[in-house]
């Protein structure tokens, strides 16, 4: 849990100052995907818990409460996220493939467990803060379970519900929250920040991410992974296992996307000599396509389409990618 909220979120802090003079017990913080709403809400939570804030609006970063918050063990703070986002190393063990599937939803038990937290007084005589992100990861049952706490909140308790999709929350939940729409970030500072993060063409990256700062950063990082991956694919005798390792931890859907585009270009190149997605690699693709049979490329594309639908929840991520690549190698090794 970091106290370092991006400085490009300052317009959000200014708006927050104006709107939060009388802080309600529940706030619905919303912004488009990748605009830093979660990070901002963490900053707000830290500020609400800070014991040394004085008249400042942000957490001091040095008091005991801030240190606890930073180390994620402030007794008066609860962060509720889907298991898939939780950084608990305990649930990360993946030996022998026995790992249980980690939920993308916020489970109803997570919300029910709040009752215990709320039934005892605050440990530090200050605020108690509950941050729920993304709030739309709660289904209707879970939202209903939360409703009771939102209706009768204990004193000095603040719920921060963060989402990019406020319309996915029940009207009953929405109506109990003050709505806070994050204003657009400070564009100049976003560009400077992207540059500091090593993004080569911040302006272009930001534009292609639709103005989303975190989206631009993610796309830039994934772009360098993609290029490395494509470099691997074009090697005549690449090692599928090693190439799979090199993209470990990446969203599997990305790997399938890259292979789909690459294979589409193989087929296109075979018939027309042109490529659609990789014009800069046209000659390599033509060379590989020459070694493949068209019907094998089509079969591989059909297999990728099936894999696409499984990529969100494979039984074993490592085997999943290895299988994609082993089949690809078989395809490009075929003699025409």
Residue ranges in contact with Zn ion by CB under 5 A = 50, 52, 59-60, 63, 66
From the CB of 182, what's the least distance to Zn ion, in Å?
A: 23
Cβ closest to Zn ion, residue 53 vs residue 291: 53
Instruction: Specify the residue, 37 or 66, whose C-beta has the smaller distance to Zn ion.
Output: 66
Q: State how far the alpha carbon of 287 is from the alpha carbons of 83, 201, 259, 269, in Å.
A: 45, 31, 17, 9
Residue 3 C-beta: closest distance to Zn ion, Å? 8
Q: Within 13 Å and on the Cβ side, how many CA atoms surround 80?
A: 27
Runs of H (alpha helix) within 104-139: 108-112, 114-119
Beta strands 128-132; 77-80: pairing state: parallel
Smaller CB separation from Zn ion, 131 or 243: 131
Minimal distance in Å, beta carbon 69 to Zn ion?
Answer: 8
CA angle at 105 for the pair 208 and 160, rounded to the nearest 5°: 75
For residues 63 and 264, which CB has a smaller minimum distance to Zn ion in the complex?
Answer: 63
Which residues, including other chains, have CB under 8 Å from residue 260's CB and lie 6 or more apart? 301, 304, 305, 308
CB of 67 to Zn ion, least distance (A): 8
Q: Which is nearer to Zn ion, 55 or 90 (CB)?
A: 55
Least distance (Å) between residue 52 CB and Zn ion: 4
Q: What's the min distance (Å) between Cβ of 72 and Zn ion?
A: 15
> Closer CB to Zn ion, residue 68 or residue 328?
68
- Torsion, Cα 271 272 278 283, to 10 degrees, reads 90
Q: DSSP string covering 177-194, please? A: SEEEEPPPP-HHHHHHHH
Assess contact for 318 and 299: CB atoms under 8 A: no
| Helices 252-272 & 213-234 angle (0-180, nearest 10) | 50
């Amino acid at each position: 849990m970091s106290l370092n909220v991006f400085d490009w979120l300052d317009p959000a802090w200014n708006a927050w100052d104006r709107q939060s003079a009388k802080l309600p017990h529940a706030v619905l913080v919303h912004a488009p995907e990748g605009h830093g709403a979660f990070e901002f809400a963490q900053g707000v939570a830290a500020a609400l818990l800070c014991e040394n804030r004085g008249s400042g609006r942000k957490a001091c970063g040095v008091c005991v409460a801030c240190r606890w918050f930073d180390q994620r063990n402030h007794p008066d703070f609860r962060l509720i996220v889907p298991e898939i986002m939780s950084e608990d190393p305990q649930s990360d063990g993946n030996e022998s493939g026995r790992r249980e599937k980690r939920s993308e939803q916020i489970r109803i038990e997570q919300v029910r467990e709040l009752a215990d937290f709320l039934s005892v007084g605050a440990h530090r005589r200050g605020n108690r803060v509950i941050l729920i992100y993304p709030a739309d990861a709660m289904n209707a049952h879970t939202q209903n379970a939360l409703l009771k706490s939102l209706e009768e909140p204990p004193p000095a308790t603040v719920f921060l519900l963060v989402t990019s999709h406020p319309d996915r929350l029940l009207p009953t939940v929405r109506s109990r929250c003050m709505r806070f729409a994050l204003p657009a970030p400070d564009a100049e500072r976003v560009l400077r920040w992207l540059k500091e993060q090593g993004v080569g063409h911040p302006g272009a990256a930001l534009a292609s991410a639709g103005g989303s700062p975190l989206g631009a950063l993610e796309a830039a990082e994934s772009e360098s992974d993609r290029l490395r991956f494509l470099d691997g694919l074009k090697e005549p005798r690449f090692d599928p296992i090693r190439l799979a390792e090199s993209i470990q931890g990446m969203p599997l859907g990305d790997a399938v996307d890259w292979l789909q585009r690459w294979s589409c270009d193989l087929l296109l190149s075979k018939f027309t000599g042109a490529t659609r997605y990789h014009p800069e690699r046209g000659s390599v693709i033509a060379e590989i396509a020459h070694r493949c049979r068209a019907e094998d490329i089509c079969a591989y594309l059909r297999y990728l389409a099936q894999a696409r639908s499984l990529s969100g929840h494979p039984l074993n991520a490592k085997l999943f990618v290895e299988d994609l690549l082993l089949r690809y190698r078989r395809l490009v090794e075929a003699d025409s």
